Chains A and B, each alone.
Chain A
Amino acid sequence: DVKVTQSSRYLVKRTGEKVFLECVQDMDHENMFWYRQDPGLGLRLIYFSYDVKMKEKGDIPEGYSVSREKKERFSLILESASTNQTSMYLCASSLGNLGMYEQYFGPGTRLTVT
C-alpha cells in the first residue's frame, strides 16, 4: 500500500513563527502536492513538485514556500505564520506525469495560528 505520512496531525503556532510541515511518501512517486482545505472552498493547491528540487506554484502560493531535496520528502514552509493560514493542510503524491494516475493523500495536518 502507498503510504503518505505527515509529520503532525495537529499543530498550534503563534503569529510570526516559521512553520514547517513535512510530508513523506514511500512509493517512489515523482509528483508531490500541498493543498489547504477550508470549509466551503474545497481543496486549493498551494505548490507541487514533479521532481527533486523542482517546484511549481499552485493556485494560492502567497505566504508559502516548499522544499524537495529528496524524492520521498516534500516540505511546506510558512515563513511568517498568520492567522489566515489557520487551515487543514493535505499532502499528496502521484506517479508519472501524464495525469492519469490518482493522488494518494496523507491524513492531514490541522494548523492553528494564534
Chain B
Amino acid sequence: AQSVTQPDIHITVSEGASLELRCNYSYGATPYLFWYVQSPGQGLQLLLKYFSGDTLVQGIKGFEAEFKRSQSSFNLRKPSVHWSDAAEYFCAVVLPYNTNAGKSTFGDGTTLTVKP
C-alpha cells in the first residue's frame, strides 16, 4: 500500500545541535515531496519541496532536505537548531500528474523539542 512514514514521533535536541528528521515513502513512482512545519496553535507552513533535479533542496529558516531514490527517503536537516524551531514537522507526498487537485498524503508528524 502507498504510504508515508515518519519513524520518529518525538525528537529532542539541544539548541545549537544538528537535526535530522526522517521521512520514507512507499509509492510506485517518485512522488513530489514536501516538508511542512506547524508551530503550536498554527496551521502548517511549507519549508521546502522537491520535484526533480538536484537532490539536495534548500528551504526557509535554514532547513534543507535530501532526496535519496534508492532509499525512498526525503530527510530534513538543519545544521544548528534554534529554540524557535520547536514545532511539529510533517512530510507530505503528492503523486505526479495526479489530476486529483494535488491531493497530498501526510506522515503522522514528528514533534521537535529543543533543550536550552
Interface residues of A (CB under 8 A from B): 4, 30-31, 33, 40-43, 45, 48-50, 56, 58, 90, 92, 94, 96-108
User: Do residues A100 and B32 form an inter-chain contact, with CB atoms below 8 A?
Assistant: yes
* Complex partner residue of B106 from A43, A48, A49, A50, CB under 8 angstroms: A43
User: Do residues B43 and A107 form an inter-chain contact, with CB atoms below 8 A?
Assistant: yes
User: Do residues A42 and B43 form an inter-chain contact, with CB atoms below 8 A?
Assistant: no
* Complex partner residue of B101 from A43, A50, A100, CB under 8 angstroms: A50
Instruction: Report chain B residues within 8 Å CB of A33.
Output: 101, 103
Instruction: Report chain A residues within 8 Å CB of B34.
Output: 102
User: Do residues B46 and A102 form an inter-chain contact, with CB atoms below 8 A?
Assistant: yes
A50 to B103, CA, bound (A): 10
* Complex partner residue of A90 from B44, B51, B95, B108, CB under 8 angstroms: B44
Instruction: Report chain A residues within 8 Å CB of B106.
Output: 42-43
Interface residues of B (CB under 8 A from A): 9, 32, 34, 36, 41-46, 49, 51, 90, 94-104, 106-109
23 contacts between A and B (CB under 8 A): A40-B108, A41-B108, A42-B90, A42-B109, A49-B101, A50-B100, A50-B101, A90-B43, A94-B101, A94-B102, A97-B100, A98-B98, A98-B102, A99-B94, A99-B98, A100-B32, A100-B96, A103-B44, A103-B104, A105-B36, A105-B44, A106-B43, A108-B43
A108 to B94, CA, bound (A): 22
Closest 3 CB pairs of A and B: A105-B43, A50-B101, A42-B108
Instruction: Report chain A residues within 8 Å CB of B99.
Output: 97-98
Closest to B43 in A: A105
Instruction: Report chain A residues within 8 Å CB of B42.
Output: 107-108
User: Do residues A99 and B95 form an inter-chain contact, with CB atoms below 8 A?
Assistant: yes
A107 to B43, CA, bound (A): 4
Instruction: Report chain B residues within 8 Å CB of A31.
Output: 101-102
Instruction: Report chain B residues within 8 Å CB of A45.
Output: 103-104
Nearest CB on A from B46, distance (A): 4
